[in-house]
Amino acid sequence: MRSDPLAVRIITPVVDSVPGRGFYQLEESALYVPIGTGDKTRHYFSSLESDRVRLDIDRDGRLMFLEIAAARNTWNVIDRIELPVWAEPADVRFLGFRTTIPDPEILTDRSRRKLLLCFSPAPVSRIVSLGDGILMSVNDHGSMTSILLCDIVDDLAGREIARFRTQLRERDPCYSSTILNSLGAPQVADRIPVRPVKSRD
């Protein structure tokens, strides 16, 4: 029997959130999402890949970088995204190793500042936070069904993502939300979509 490439193990509770944010590279027409890049002990170990999406995983199975190689004008625009009240911070470990994953449907709202990757239509049983403004839904079988990026910024020549990483390297051992404050990230705990609402256009 083939193993599930989207299988995850979730450990809770986790007190502290890790830093992360989406940076849309204007020159490359791609979205880069570093997660927890301030920790120098983490190194790339494996990738889970589809035609347009790559998840880079560290040796412990934690997601450390997400790349969406799809221009913004190819994202499917919907009116709005319905959100639950809260997503529990969690230590999520991906169980797949150097394998192919389904190519997700890519949805965005009209502002293009949120992005929803829909990997599966299966009913959601659990919603967790991977990092600041980066949320995941999981089904009853412990398989990832979607990832939501809550706040995306435009980045020219990689300046914003470089500034983000520099601030993380210079931060105190205890991560502080002041880093994301300086980048204009939302301070309310963003919420993951349960289902999209189709555009009426």
**pLDDT single digits (tens) 122-165:** 999 999 999 888 999 999 999 999 999 988 999 999 999 999 98
The Cα–Cα gap between 173 and 182 comes to 18
pLDDT of residue 183: 41
- d(C-alpha 103, C-alpha 152), whole Å: 21
Q: 32-45: per-residue pLDDT in tens?
A: 999 986 667 778 89
pTM for this prediction:
0.82
Are 112 and 152 within 8 A, CB to CB? yes
> Which residues partner with 30 through β-bridges?
25
Mean pLDDT estimate for the chain: 83
**ω into residue 13 within 30 of 0, thus cis?**
yes
Contacts of 178 (CB under 8 A, 6+ apart): none
Q: Which residues pair with 117 in a beta bridge?
A: 106, 147
Least confident of 46-60, 61-75, 157-171, 179-193: 179-193
Q: 124 with 137: CB under 8 angstroms?
A: yes
* Mean pLDDT within 106-116: 93
d(CA 31, CA 153): 9
Query: Do 79 and 197 meet the contact criterion of CB atoms below 8 Å apart?
Result: yes
Q: Which DSSP state fits 163? A: H
β-strand partners of 80: 197
**Which of 30-39, 81-90, 94-103, 160-169 has the least mean pLDDT?**
81-90
Q: Which residue has the higher pLDDT, 59 or 200?
A: 59
At 158-191, the pLDDT tens digits run 999 999 988 887 764 444 444 344 444 443 333 3
Residue 197 clears pLDDT 60, i.e. is over it: no
- Residue 113 is which amino acid? R
